[in-house]
Structure 1
């Protein structure tokens, strides 16, 4: 065997191979409970904080604050504060955030189109593997 063949061959480590394509960061961000709901709402247009809070059922003020901060930090949302009394703040998607919102909308469309087929597949799987549980 030649020297060239004595090295260890590395297999790709993830969906991007050895390249860090950032998928983990994106999945971590959109995989939390509130991010997608906030993105969907902001895709409809600029929203003030209270409008977002009312539009996202069940979100607390603290979670909305954390979610919008994370989205701003990632460059997906732009926050504008107005020096008024009381202070007013609004949020809008950046171009990058809008492109992510489009991808999320396509995923939502896909899930809507395949929801029944997935339920049927689960039913078949569960019936075929009932003795394993």
Structure 2
């Protein structure tokens, strides 16, 4: 007989006030802008699919910006973002040969010297921060992966 009580209460409407007292779902997390990240090789912007000869890459840097739509939505943030951390690896086929954690001002010369023809630099940008107009910084979701072939 107990198994019929819940449907009966629902039918009568007696359980609806109890259901209305359930805690509300947590509000969705604030949407954050996705930055546009440009990789610079030897101080020149890298275009996708472009490869470099062995020994050519001496420096890798990044520039991250918000697009105009994100700037309108997040007007309290500055357009230029800070790339704080990336992992740069040299891969041969599916195998990682060497890697380093890049931070602003880091030199990749020792890593770059290990790159051979047929390898590729695999770059995973993992930390980008936005600065607001007041000067405070805020971390943004920014995991992006780039692959630069060495020929």
Instruction: Name the TM-score, length of structure 2 as normaliser.
Output: 0.21
Q: Which of the pair has the greater relative contact order for Cα pairs under 8 Å at 6+ separation?
A: 2
**Higher fraction of strand:** 2
**Higher fraction of helix:** 1
